[in-house]
Structure 1
Amino acid sequence: MAKPVTLSNGRVWSTRSAALKFFKDMLARYEVGETVGLPGDHADLLALLVRYDAVLAPGEQGKIGVGVSHFSKQWASAEGYSTACFYVHRTDGTIDDFSYVRAINEG
């Protein structure tokens, strides 16, 4: 049975697959190093972070932190892999990557 995905900003997809495709396509619209500039994209990513933080295990640090300044597309590397992903830039100057896949699949 298909499970809908709903974000706090009111955006709804009828399936996880549709939501994953939406954010994959959004990521593809931007070049590595580019700031996410469209206001709708920013709003959707911010709502996705709310969902992401809601699925974290106790003790895991949330991605929103002190507040979000903007988002960008950057390279993330760890343990033998490198992939382009979204990064959150916080108002205190800190940055962190996050997985839209995790936010959708675990939410």
Structure 2
Amino acid sequence: MKLERILPFARKLLEMAVKPGEIAVDATVGNGHDTIFLANLAGSTGRVYGFDIQDQALMSCKAKLREHGLQDRVTLFHKGHEQVAECIPPLHYGKITGAIF
């Protein structure tokens, strides 16, 4: 049996879990690639919440989101993912269908 590398495997799982109109979390925004991936999965009616403690990561991600026309699908927080419960609106509690770290 051949095992897939972790990132492609994680993305396959997210593709099965996050559908248009749903909510997802990118717990460590970093370079923004996963944020863009999730924003495409969630579609124009979904929402992605992204977290990072580094200013540069958030600035880079914002620029990439604008380049892809996805900035309206994502809310970014300059906070660590341990504060996710404090940042996500109560109406989305229990409705997150996918997350990546």
Q: Tell me the TM-score normalised to structure 1 length.
A: 0.29
Looking at secondary structure, tell me which structure has more strand per residue: 1
Looking at secondary structure, tell me which structure has more helix per residue: 2
Higher relative contact order at CA 8 Å, sep ≥6: structure 1 or structure 2?
2
